[in-house]
């Protein structure tokens, strides 16, 4: 029988795989699949047909019936390029009450605890099933979770409560904003700037869209928030451009300008409504451009979209997380997770994991030993409950 590794040993192994989103995660998936099947646990992998060097891994322990608790994590991490680390980012080092290493906080610390719980629960004899859902490309916009969730429902009995272990300091987060990002490319018509009225500046037309976004932000900020929106900081949907490039010279109307425009929506506002508003404004600007020169245009590419997590009334996942943590306060966050995607697929979902989100993506990323131990205690209580 395979050895039963401690949570720290599992985290150390997971961190040793440099699963930066741009690279493969298959060595990690291979090791984990071997480790779980070595303990007699059912596993399934889903390989992305467009990226065959990446895979999600799903596992099931306990009776093969519906109603499992699903522990959800992701295998990918952000790059370390250009960051000033004190040591090897892919080697876990304990120092000053902290475990340092890329992904210790976001989120291989939770992954390790979930894997430990699956093996421990299997050997204890679970009365209610426990599942693991380990995705990829979460750091690229949560793009790997939807196909994994769809595959899970074909291969495994459907779970009922999902705990997404993003770092929340072991608090039960019941709501978060969703969002979508667009890559927008404006194509103008070049003329000398002295006769700019005969040309179309892609840069200045892009600015019309961006200024509209500023005006929308101001309008949203001035509106009385809904009960759901009031839980967030800020309590409204926001539009943002963080990247723009274009033009060739100061005295030429720009032929091309590319920029990103995204929104983070409070979860009671449908994404499609915001998408329609943005595309509608872009269409208005494009029509005005084409009235000057018909060959101008604006191309829009949807980069990714993440649904919000809507607080549930008496949600099973929330109730479970609160029972295991003793946390009865209300918590919401403005960043997105895969919890909204599970919720869209019919699962009750909550975000609850060890570590501080402020450490995610940083040089010398760490999870405190105290938080890691709090996560371990959480998993022990979960196993006690599922084995009872």
Instruction: Note the pLDDT tens digit of each residue in 342-386.
Output: 999 999 999 999 999 999 999 999 999 999 999 999 999 999 999
Q: Are 170 and 353 in contact (CB under 8 A)?
A: yes
Q: Where are the domains of the chain?
A: 7-175+308-387, 178-306
pLDDT higher than threshold 80 for residue 160: yes
In 3-state terms, what secondary structure has residue 313?
A: coil
Q: Are 165 and 107 in contact (CB under 8 A)?
A: yes
Nearest Cα to Cα of residue 372 among 10, 4, 2: 10
- Positive or negative, the CA dihedral 24, 102, 79, 81 is negative
Average pLDDT, stretch 271-293? Answer: 96
In CATH terms, the superfamily for domain 7-175+308-387 is Zn peptidases (3.40.630.10)
Distance of CA 78 to the CA centre of its chain: 12
CATH topology of domain 178-306: Alpha-Beta Plaits (3.30.70)
Prediction pTM value: 0.88
Average pLDDT, stretch 232-252? Answer: 95
pLDDT higher than threshold 70 for residue 1: no
330 confidence band (pLDDT: 50, 70, 90): confident
What's the pLDDT tens digit per position in 121-143? 999 999 999 999 999 999 998 99
Q: Are 279 and 300 in contact (CB under 8 A)?
A: yes
Pair type for strands 348-351 and 161-164: parallel
Question: Token digits for 17?
Answer: 């795989």
Give the pLDDT of residue 271: 87
Topology agreement, domain 7-175+308-387 and domain 178-306: no
């Amino acid at each position: 029988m395979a050895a039963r590794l401690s949570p720290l040993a599992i985290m150390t192994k997971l961190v040793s795989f440099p699963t930066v989103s741009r690279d493969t995660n298959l060595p990690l998936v291979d090791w984990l699949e071997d480790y779980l099947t070595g303990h007699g646990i059912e596993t399934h992998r889903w390989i992305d047909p467009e990226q065959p060097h990446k895979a999600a891994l799903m596992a099931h322990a306990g009776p093969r019936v519906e109603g499992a608790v699903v522990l959800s994590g992701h295998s990918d991490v952000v790059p370390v390029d250009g960051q000033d680390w004190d040591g090897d980012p892919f080697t876990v080092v304990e120092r000053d009450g902290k475990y340092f290493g890329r992904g210790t906080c976001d989120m291989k610390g939770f992954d390790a605890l979930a894997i430990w719980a699956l093996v421990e629960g299997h050997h204890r004899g679970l009365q209610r099933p426990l599942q693991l859902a380990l995705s990829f490309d979460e750091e690229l916009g949560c793009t790997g979770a939807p196909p994994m969730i769809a595959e899970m429902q074909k291969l495994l009995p459907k779970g009922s409560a999902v705990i997404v272990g993003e770092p929340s300091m072991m608090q039960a987060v019941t709501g978060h904003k969703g969002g979508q990002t667009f890559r927008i490319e404006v194509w103008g018509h070049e003329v000398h700037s002295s006769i700019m009225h005969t040309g179309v500046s892609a840069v200045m037309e892009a600015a019309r869209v961006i200024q509209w976004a500023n005006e929308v932000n101001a309008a949203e900020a001035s509106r009385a928030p809904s009960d759901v929106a009031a839980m967030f900081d800020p309590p409204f949907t926001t539009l943002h451009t963080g990247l723009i490039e274009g033009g060739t010279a100061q005295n030429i109307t720009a032929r091309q300008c590319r920029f990103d425009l995204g929104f983070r929506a409070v979860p009671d506002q449908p994404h499609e409504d915001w998408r329609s508003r943005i595309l509608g404004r872009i269409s208005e600007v494009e029509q005005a451009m084409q009235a000057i020169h018909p060959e101008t245009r604006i191309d829009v590419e949807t980069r990714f979209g993440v649904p919000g997590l809507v607080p549930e009334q008496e949600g099973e996942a929330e109730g479970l997380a609160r029972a295991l943590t003793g946390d009865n306060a209300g918590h919401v966050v403005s960043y997105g997770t895969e919890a909204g995607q599970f919720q869209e697929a019919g699962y009750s979902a909550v975000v609850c994991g060890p570590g501080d989100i402020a450490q995610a993506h940083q040089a010398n990323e760490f999870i405190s030993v105290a938080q890691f131990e709090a996560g371990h205690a959480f998993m022990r209580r979960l196993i006690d409950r599922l084995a009872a």
